[in-house]
Amino acid sequence: MLSSLRATFVLSLSAGLLLSSCEQHKPATTTPAAPAAPTAQARYECPMGCAGSQSSKPGKCPVCEMELVKKS
Ligand SMILES: [Zn+2]
Protein backbone atom coordinates (compact mmCIF):
# COMPACT_ATOMS: atom_id res chain seq x y z
CA MET A 1 0.00 0.00 0.00
CA LEU A 2 2.68 2.43 1.06
CA SER A 3 5.09 1.35 -1.64
CA SER A 4 2.47 1.74 -4.37
CA LEU A 5 1.75 5.25 -3.11
CA ARG A 6 5.43 6.07 -3.31
CA ALA A 7 5.60 4.56 -6.79
CA THR A 8 2.83 6.83 -8.04
CA PHE A 9 4.54 9.80 -6.43
CA VAL A 10 7.84 8.98 -8.11
CA LEU A 11 6.05 8.41 -11.42
CA SER A 12 4.28 11.76 -11.32
CA LEU A 13 7.50 13.43 -10.25
CA SER A 14 9.50 11.97 -13.13
CA ALA A 15 6.66 12.80 -15.52
CA GLY A 16 6.80 16.40 -14.38
CA LEU A 17 10.56 16.42 -14.80
CA LEU A 18 10.20 15.03 -18.30
CA LEU A 19 7.65 17.70 -19.19
CA SER A 20 9.77 20.51 -17.84
CA SER A 21 12.88 19.22 -19.56
CA CYS A 22 10.92 19.01 -22.82
CA GLU A 23 9.90 22.63 -22.46
CA GLN A 24 13.49 23.60 -21.80
CA HIS A 25 14.67 21.75 -24.88
CA LYS A 26 11.99 23.19 -27.14
CA PRO A 27 13.64 26.54 -27.97
CA ALA A 28 16.95 24.79 -28.57
CA THR A 29 15.47 22.50 -31.21
CA THR A 30 13.38 25.16 -32.97
CA THR A 31 16.29 27.57 -33.40
CA PRO A 32 18.72 26.35 -36.06
CA ALA A 33 22.20 25.82 -34.67
CA ALA A 34 24.03 26.43 -37.93
CA PRO A 35 22.63 28.58 -40.75
CA ALA A 36 22.21 26.36 -43.78
CA ALA A 37 21.56 29.15 -46.25
CA PRO A 38 24.58 31.34 -47.01
CA THR A 39 22.78 34.64 -46.47
CA ALA A 40 25.98 36.57 -45.77
CA GLN A 41 27.55 35.50 -49.06
CA ALA A 42 26.92 37.30 -52.32
CA ARG A 43 24.19 35.77 -54.42
CA TYR A 44 23.62 36.12 -58.09
CA GLU A 45 20.22 35.77 -59.66
CA CYS A 46 18.68 36.20 -63.08
CA PRO A 47 17.03 39.65 -63.45
CA MET A 48 14.02 37.82 -64.84
CA GLY A 49 13.79 35.76 -61.66
CA CYS A 50 14.00 32.43 -63.44
CA ALA A 51 13.68 29.33 -61.28
CA GLY A 52 17.01 27.72 -60.52
CA SER A 53 19.00 30.75 -61.71
CA GLN A 54 20.36 31.54 -58.25
CA SER A 55 24.10 31.12 -58.02
CA SER A 56 26.90 31.95 -55.61
CA LYS A 57 29.09 33.28 -58.41
CA PRO A 58 28.49 35.50 -61.45
CA GLY A 59 27.49 33.88 -64.69
CA LYS A 60 24.59 33.45 -67.04
CA CYS A 61 21.08 32.27 -66.37
CA PRO A 62 20.72 28.63 -67.42
CA VAL A 63 17.13 29.33 -68.47
CA CYS A 64 17.20 32.56 -70.50
CA GLU A 65 20.99 33.05 -70.77
CA MET A 66 20.82 36.55 -69.31
CA GLU A 67 23.67 37.91 -67.19
CA LEU A 68 23.10 37.19 -63.51
CA VAL A 69 22.81 40.21 -61.26
CA LYS A 70 24.20 40.47 -57.74
CA LYS A 71 21.69 40.26 -54.94
CA SER A 72 22.30 41.75 -51.52
ZN1 LIG B 1 16.72 33.81 -66.59
pLDDT digits (tens, 9 = 90+) for 1-48: 667 777 766 666 766 665 565 556 666 666 666 666 555 578 999 999
Distance in Å, CA 38 to ligand 1 centroid: 21
pLDDT at residue 42 in the model: 86
pLDDT at residue 35 in the model: 63
Distance in Å, CA 21 to ligand 1 centroid: 49
- Report the b/e string of 25-45 with b at 16+ CB within 10 A: eeeeeeeeeeeeeeeeeebbe
Domain that includes residue 18, residue range: 1-31
Q: Are residues 24 and 53 in the same domain?
A: no
51: left (phi over 0), alpha (psi -120 to 50) or beta: beta
pLDDT at residue 61 in the model: 97
Distance in Å, CA 66 to ligand 1 centroid: 6
- The Cβ-side half-sphere exposure at 12, using a 13 Å CA radius, reads 5
Q: Are residues 23 and 45 in the same domain?
A: no
Tell me how many domains the chain contains.
Answer: 2
Q: Are residues 39 and 72 in the same domain?
A: yes
- pTM here is 0.43
CB 68 within 8 A of CB 52: no
**Pairwise CA distance, residues 69 & 67, whole Å:** 6
pLDDT at residue 64 in the model: 97
Distance in Å, CA 53 to ligand 1 centroid: 6
